[in-house]
Amino acid sequence: MLSKTTVQALLAVLQDRDVEEFHPARNLAAAISVEAAELLEKFIWATDDQVRGLVDYHKASIAEEIADIAILLTDLATDLAIDIGSAAAAKIRNNAEKYPVE
């Protein structure tokens, strides 16, 4: 999760560059999908045994893709007035009820 300071910095960057008109929810959701595909591309055709080596080799670019996703998701959640932490906590509770330990 991004810190409050990081979120404030992100929102300041977006506001300073006046790009909010280009970031409607639909575009942000599409961009998240594209960035997730770019992350997945780092692992394509790898076996489970090869993944650790790929992560070590591509760590910087994997971190960039994860950052892109986090930034876009934060922008989207902010635009939609959704608290990511609260939404995640609710989802975890729902999953715990839906899939009890047995």
Distance CA 60, CA 39 (A): 11
Distance CA 11, CA 36 (A): 21
Task: Please give the residue that has the higher pLDDT: either 66 or 22.
Answer: 66
Task: Report which DSSP code applies to 100.
Answer: -
Residue 17 φ then ψ, to 5°: -95, 0
What is the structure's pLDDT at 25? 95
Over 90: is that where the pLDDT of 29 sits? Answer: yes
**What average pLDDT score do residues 47-60 get?**
92
Q: What are the structure tokens assigned to 35, written together?
A: 């960035």
- What mean pLDDT value characterizes the chain? 92
Q: What band does 21 get if pLDDT is binned at 50, 70 and 90?
A: confident
What is the structure's pLDDT at 33? 98
Number of residues in the chain: 102
Longest CA–CA span in the chain (Å) reads 52
